[in-house]
Structure 1
Amino acid sequence: MTRPLVVKVTAGMDAPERCSQAFTVAAVAVAAGTDVSVWLTGESAWFALPGRAAEFDLPHAAPLPDLLAGILAGGRVTVCTQCAARRSFGPDDVIPGVRIAGAAAFVDEVLADGVQALVY
């Protein structure tokens, strides 16, 4: 049995390798049957919007739209409330399956029994 995994992604196009690592780890964990929750914060919040993941390019890395789709197929993706507000978007703007929630929801997830948390 695998333990649930929460991955907090803080990097976007500003730090592409770190961003790609976070999405890759999350997607591989989903594919392995792990209960995965990905939190998009800071610059990674932009990837909650339609078409933004397709703008990401990192040589020798899996395409971000494919990783995101894999995560959404078997896990959860949440955008930080404040991060979305600072970028002027809301629940009606994000791709299907993505939710917007605040710090209390994040804390609840990472403090749950047996959860592993990673920050990128």
Structure 2
Amino acid sequence: MARNGSGDGLSADAVEGLLAYAATQRRFGGRAVRNVERAIAGARGLAARDPVAHTGLLVRALREGAKLRLARGDPARALPMAEEALGLARGLGGAPLAMTLHCVADVLTALDRKDEALNLLREADKQ
């Protein structure tokens, strides 16, 4: 896997690659989860070093992790990732926020918290 210049974490391209590869592995379960978890960890490191450049990547990695957990029937484990992504996406606005609002709404719906989900979908429509 490609590394960034400091050698202590994944590059943005490597994180993107892990996310893309995980999307092709959804039916294989464990490998997809491991790759998304690696992508989240790599994106966290990048965002810690340069929040302006990499917070969007972290939001996407967290959102993908939440969607994967949801697809695997585990909305309770999806919720913390989705909520973290939402907290970060609020600072970005626009499409990242709208997409993350939809993701959190999907998780809340799976948890039978439909009123909260509806409020988020209304917010997403305003983006």
TM interval, short-chain normalised: 0.3 to 0.5
| Structure that is richer in strand per residue | 1
Q: Select the structure with the greater relative contact order (CA < 8 A; seq sep ≥ 6).
A: 1
TM-score, with length taken from structure 1:
0.35
From the CA coordinates, give the structure whose radius of gyration is larger: 2
